[in-house]
Copies of this chain bind each other. A is one copy, B any other.
Amino acid sequence: MENGTGSLEDDRKALSVTGIRATNQRAIVLEVISRGQGHLDADEIYRRARMNQPHISLSTVYRTLQAFKKLGLIDELHFDEAHHYYEIKPAFEHQHLICLGCGKIVEFECPLSQKMKKDVARENDFEVTSVEVRMTGYCPQCRQDRT
């Protein structure tokens, strides 16, 4: 959990490039999300951030998340009804497959989604800015447990 300061500096630099103030809180939130293997919700980010910065507030986490989202640094995902999840904007477009049994999330690439996007844009005369594909089902383990 503590390789910390070095890459926090990198996070600060990344932030100042974007034009917003590079605060410790923001650096830590960015760091947490980067290390977080994607798919952390606000509360989990808060909990992890507090390990480095015990006084960070939940409001700040939420505000930071909004800011990052607006800057395009992160993506906000809507997996279930209750929470949002955040991940660093991925280098390659990918989609999500969610196990209804254990909640495991699998990312997959989806070349078809690009074609789909073009088709839909043309047919509806839309400018399409994002495509989110979300499949749910049961992973091998959970399928076994169910029988």
Binding site for B on A (CB under 8 A): 76, 78, 81, 84, 97, 99-100, 106, 108, 110, 112-113, 115-117, 119-121, 123-140, 143
B residues in contact with A78, CB < 8 Å: 78, 81
Task: A78-B78, A131-B134 given; name 12 further pairs at CB < 8 Å.
Answer: A106-B126, A110-B120, A112-B116, A117-B135, A121-B137, A125-B140, A126-B139, A128-B136, A130-B135, A132-B134, A133-B133, A133-B134
Partner among B106, B135, B138 whose Cβ is within 8 Å of the Cβ of A131 = B135
Q: Are A126 and B138 in contact (CB under 8 A)?
A: yes
Q: Are A135 and B112 in contact (CB under 8 A)?
A: no
Q: Are A135 and B132 in contact (CB under 8 A)?
A: yes
Question: Chain B nearest CB: distance from A88 CB in Å?
Answer: 19
Query: Given A116-B110, A116-B112, A116-B113, A132 and B133 touching (CB < 8 A)?
Result: yes
CA–CA, A99 and B128, complex, Å: 9
Q: Are B117 and A115 in contact (CB under 8 A)?
A: no
B residues in contact with A84, CB < 8 Å: 81
B residues in contact with A135, CB < 8 Å: 117, 120, 126, 128, 130-132
